[in-house]
Amino acid sequence: MNPDKSSMVNPKISVFTPTYNRADLLQRLYVSLTKQTFRDFEWVVVDDGSTDGTADVMKEFIAAQNFPIRYQYQENAGKPMAVNQGVSMALGELFFIVDSDDWLPEDSLETMWFHWDNVKKLPDAMQFAGISGNRIHSNGEVNGGSVDYDILDTDNFDYRLSRHYKGDKAEAYATNILRQYPFPVFENEKHCPESLVWYRIANHYKLRYFNKGVYVGDYLEGGLTNSSKFVRAKYPRYSTLAYSEMASNPRVPAKGRIRANINYWRFAPYNRSQSFINKFAAVRHIWNVFCVPLGYLLYLREKKSISNKLKK
């Protein structure tokens, strides 16, 4: 189920799906891939320790031979490790993460490649890490609200923190760039804010944003988005690393740095692997001394409800 790379012709796009106990939902994504108008792609699936028959479902998909599929099982280690594994397996020029509970419009990959191919023709093409379209809900609404551009070439800092566009986007990054920016790995922690890596890339590269829906998904009850406060407390080394880098980065506007600093101290008490001195030193920000009490007050206000949930 994992053929030798040397025997395969490299596809243009690697669609990557990390999955955990979503055997009942993979069919919808698989069907959407069979309908793609653009055929020069592979599907890379990393199974993060599923126990619901996901392997059998994937065997059926592979046997159908509708397009190249490579499936890898790993002991449950979390999405960061799954993404790192997927990037190492990918043969495509572009790496497009599509979660197992979401699916793609029929012209999604065609649209993605059209915009990436145009980016490669630009005089400053080497400054681009990838492209980004819209995520839409199943009712057609754009995740985060509509945008007022057709094409926008900028970096993630400007897009999110200066222009204030909201919502999740559908990004595809150049695979060779993602190999330079792997997700950090912390023992016993399984969820890393993806923005940590996207902002690291944004320090050096920009994206081409385009105004078209190329990714369909609705948030599931009990998903990470619906429990983000709990997730940040449960995996504090990831969340505090992300906030410390935001608070210390001069590319982030002042208000954003202060907000990140406060959130750092909101979740820092859950990180018992570092001393207070080391935590304090991790954030290089002039307002650090004022943000400590504000963040700690938030921690105290939420401590009981979060602790009760962490015990379950």
Q: Quick one: three-class SS letters along 156-208?
A: HHHHHHHCCCCCCEEEEEEHHHHCCCCCCCCCCCCCCCHHHHHHHHHCCCEEE
| CATH superfamily of this structure's domain 5-216 | Spore Coat Polysaccharide Biosynthesis Protein SpsA; Chain A (3.90.550.10)
Q: What pLDDT, on the 0 to 100 scale, is given for residue 232?
A: 94
Q: Structural domain boundaries of the chain?
A: 5-216, 229-307
Name which residue leads in pLDDT, 114 or 219: 114
Kindly tell me if the per-residue pLDDT of 38 is higher than 70: yes
Name which residue leads in pLDDT, 307 or 234: 234
Q: What pLDDT, on the 0 to 100 scale, is given for residue 227?
A: 61
Mean pLDDT of 160-167: 94
Closest to 211 (Cα-Cα) out of 261, 147, 117, 121? 147
Using pLDDT thresholds of 50, 70 and 90, give the confidence band for residue 208: very high
Kindly tell me if the per-residue pLDDT of 221 is higher than 80: no
Closest to 96 (Cα-Cα) out of 145, 169, 35, 26? 169
Spatial contact of 285 and 256, defined as CB atoms under 8 Å apart:
no
Q: pLDDT (tens digit, 9 = 90+) per residue, 130-141?
A: 999 999 999 999
Using pLDDT thresholds of 50, 70 and 90, give the confidence band for residue 5: very low
Nearest-angstrom CA–CA distance, 258 and 292: 11
Q: What pLDDT, on the 0 to 100 scale, is given for residue 8?
A: 53
Instruction: Identify the H or E element spanning 70.
Output: strand 69-74
Q: Give phi and psi for 68, each to the nearest 5.
A: -65, 130
Using pLDDT thresholds of 50, 70 and 90, give the confidence band for residue 220: low
In percent, the amount of the chain with pLDDT more than 70 equals 94
Kindly tell me if the per-residue pLDDT of 311 is higher than 80: no
Nearest-angstrom CA–CA distance, 27 and 31: 6
Kindly tell me if the per-residue pLDDT of 106 is higher than 50: yes
Q: Output the pTM of the full model.
A: 0.91
Closest to 67 (Cα-Cα) out of 45, 99, 88, 82? 45
Kindly tell me if the per-residue pLDDT of 1 is higher than 70: no
Q: What pLDDT, on the 0 to 100 scale, is given for residue 284?
A: 75
Kindly tell me if the per-residue pLDDT of 3 is higher than 50: no
